[in-house]
Chain A
Amino acid sequence: MSRLSGMGGRLYRGEKSFNIIGNRRGFYALSGIVILIAAISLSVQGLKLGIEFKGGSQFTLTSPGATIAMGQQAITDSGITSETIVQKIGTDKIQITTKSLTNAQNDAVETAIVKDFKVAIGNINVMSIGPSWGKDITHKAIQALIGFLLVILLYLGLAFEPKMAQAAIVAVLHDIFITVGIYALVGFDVTPATVIGFLTILGYSLYDTVVVFDKVRENTRSITSTGKYTYSQAANLAVNQTLVRSFNTSLIALLPVASILFVGAGLLGAGTLKDLSLALFIGLATGTYSSIFIATPILATLREREPAMKALAKRVAQRGPQVPGDVVVIAGVADTSNIVTSTHSKENRDRGPRNQPKRRSRR
Chain B
Amino acid sequence: MSANISKSIKSQAKPGRTLAILAIILVAFTALALIQNDKVKLGLDLRGGTSVTLQPRVAKGGNVSSAAIAQAVAIIRQRVNSLGVAESQVTAQGTGNNQQIVISVPGDTGTRIVDLVGQTAELRFRQVYAVGAASAKTTSTSTTSTTKVTVPKPGAKATPTPKASTPAAVNPTFPTGVTADLNAKFGLLDCTKAANRQGGNIDDPSAPLVACNRDGSGKYILGPAELVGTDVASASANLDQTNGNGWMVLLNFTGSGTTKFGAITTRVTKLPSPQNQVAVVLDGLVYTSPQINQAITGGNAQITGNFTQVQASDLANVLKYGALPLAFDRGNVEQVSPTLGANQLHDGLLAGLLGLLLVVLYSVFYYRGLGVVSVGSLSIAGGITYLLFLLLGKWIGFSLSLAGIAGAIVSIGITADSFIVYFERLRDEVRDGRSLRTAVDTGWTRAKRTIIVADSVSLIASALLYFFAVGDVRGFAFTLGLTTIVDLLVVFFFTKPLVTLLARVNFYSSGHPLSGFSAKSLGVVTRKDVA
Stretch touching chain B among A28-36, A226-234, A252-260: A252-260
A-side interface size class = 35 or more
**Complex: how many Å from CA A14 to CA B69?**
62
Decide if A245 touches B339 in the complex (CB within 8 Å): no
Residue-wise, chain A 244-275 has the 8 Å CB interface mask toward B (1 for contact) of 11001101111111111011100110011100
Does B67 belong to the interface (CB within 8 Å)?
Answer: no
- B464-A144 in contact (CB<8A): yes
Contacts of A273 in B (CB 8 A): 344, 347-348, 351, 402, 406
Docked-complex contact B333 and A263, CB < 8 angstroms: no
Which one of A4, A196, A362 contacts B472 once the chains associate, using CB atoms below 8 Å? A196
Could you mark each residue 420-453 of chain B with 1 if its beta carbon is under 8 Å from any beta carbon of chain A, else 0? 1100100110011111010000000010011001
Output the nearest chain B residue to A126 by Cβ-Cβ distance.
B335
- Asked if A129 and B421 make an inter-chain contact with CB atoms under 8 angstroms apart, the answer reads no
User: Across the interface, which residues of B come within 8 angstroms of A129, CB to CB?
Assistant: 331-333
Known: A1-B366, A199-B461, A211-B454. A255 touches B413 (CB 8 A): yes
Residue of chain A at shortest CB distance from B529: A333
Given contacts A12-B428, A273-B348, whether A207 and B55 have CB atoms under 8 Å apart is: no
A363 touches B435 (CB 8 A): yes
Does the CB pair A125–B458 fall under 8 Å? no
Does any Cβ of A come within 8 Å of B204's Cβ? no
A contact residues around B314 at 8 Å (CB): none
A181 to B169, CA, bound (A): 77
Those of B77-114 within 8 Å (CB) of chain A: 98, 108, 110-111, 114
Cβ of A192: which chain B residues have Cβ within 8 Å of it? 471-473
Q: Is the interface of B mostly helix, strand, loop or mixed?
A: helix
Is B269's CB within 8 Å of the partner chain A? Answer: no
Q: Smallest distance from the beta carbon of A327 to chain B beta carbons, Å?
A: 18
B453 engages A214 (CB within 8 Å) = yes
A196–B457 Cα gap in the complex (Å)?
Answer: 16
- Interface status of B21 (Cβ within 8 A of chain A): no
B248 at the interface (CB under 8 A from A): no
Contact between chains at B460 and A255 (CB < 8 Å): no
CB within 8 Å for A125 and B417 given contacts A103-B118, A251-B362, A255-B355:
no
By the criterion CB–CB under 8 Å, are B340 and A62 in contact?
yes
Q: How far is the CB of B59 from chain A (nearest CB, A)?
A: 13
Determine the chain B residues whose CB is within 8 A of the CB of A1 once the complex forms. 365-366, 521
Contact: B111 with A210, CB < 8 Å? no
Is there contact, CB below 8 Å, between B329 and A130?
Answer: yes
A127 interface hit (Cβ, 8 Å): yes
User: Does chain A have a CB within 8 A of B354?
Assistant: yes
Asked if B316 lies at the interface with its beta carbon under 8 angstroms from chain A, I say no
Q: Inside 8 A of A121's CB, which chain B residues have their CB?
A: 110
A309 within 8 A of B: no
Evaluate contact between B521 and A122: CB separation under 8 angstroms. no
Which A residues lie within 8 Å of B521 (CB)?
Answer: 1-2, 5-6
Residues of chain B whose beta carbon lies under 8 Å from any beta carbon of chain A: 45, 48, 53, 55, 57, 98, 108, 110-111, 114-115, 118, 329-340, 343-344, 347-348, 350-352, 354-356, 358-359, 362-363, 365-366, 402-403, 406, 409-410, 412-414, 416-417, 420-421, 424, 427-428, 431-435, 437, 446, 449-450, 453-454, 456-458, 460-462, 464-465, 467-473, 476, 480, 509-510, 518, 520-525, 527, 530
Which 7 pairs across A and B sit closest by C-beta, in order of nearness? A9-B523, A256-B355, A203-B461, A253-B413, A6-B523, A144-B468, A263-B351
